[in-house]
Amino acid sequence: MESLTDAWHNVFAHQARPDTSVILVTAAVAAAAVLYLPSWRIARHVVTIAHEAAHGIAAVACGRRLSGIRLHSDTSGVTVSSGKRTGPGMVLTAAAGYIGPALIGLGAALTLSAGYALAVLWGVLVLLALLLIQIRNWFGLWSVLASAGVVFAVTWWAPESVQSGFAYLVTWFLLVSAPRPVIELQLERRRRRTTTSDADQLARLTVLPAVVWVGVFILVTLGALVGGAIALLQTS
């Protein structure tokens, strides 16, 4: 009980900002994970988790009923919700996926800039726990449990310096990785003329064509990257 109480107090305890070299190294590692294709094939699953979680959060926030989430081994995912098939709620739900990882990363960056590294990790754990309730397939269950296991191990047993470095690594990864799926989306749309993507769904829900929605996704993800980088690299 004392350990749980101490852990709860530590969540909201102020942690010292790590050296700038640590912040830069975690940024470089995150960028390498995104740019190096073999590592990206694995790390892409983390982006999918954040993508589908964002769909789910938006659906619930808009008053829709969340029916379940599936994560697939090819890094795709599906979030199913019920409610009105048109209108602002459906638009926000569809738009949340590709910008979700970037916005989560931006929120984490602002939290880190305030000195709450452990709060970032616990926030990730809470998000994964909520997502776990909605998972409806075995691969998705394994993906979320594996991710939660890593974060929990660092949060519970690692020293404070490792926790801080890991929080920066996760945050950088979310920020740096967010634009790549959007670029992949547009390349896939041009190559296969698909009409089932989030951008195409939004085009059917609104007056804006799919390519404009892709542009919105790019602007938001790049804006979050710039804003997050400024917050993470500030010296005071």
Q: Which of 55-69, 78-92, 97-111, 193-207 has the lowest mean pLDDT?
A: 193-207
- CA neighbor of 109 nearest in space, from 218, 192, 30, 202: 30
In sequence order, what DSSP letters do the residues of 95-127 get, joined into one string? HHHHHHHHHHHHHHHHHHHTT-HHHHHHHHHHH
For residues 52 and 79, the answer to whether their CB atoms sit within 8 Å is yes
- State pTM to two decimals: 0.95
- Looking at residue 179, its amino acid is P
- According to the model, what pLDDT value does residue 2 have? 44
Dump pLDDT digits (tens) for 126-152.
999 999 999 999 999 999 999 999 999
The helix/strand/coil state of 12 is: coil
Dump pLDDT digits (tens) for 86-106.
999 999 999 999 999 999 999
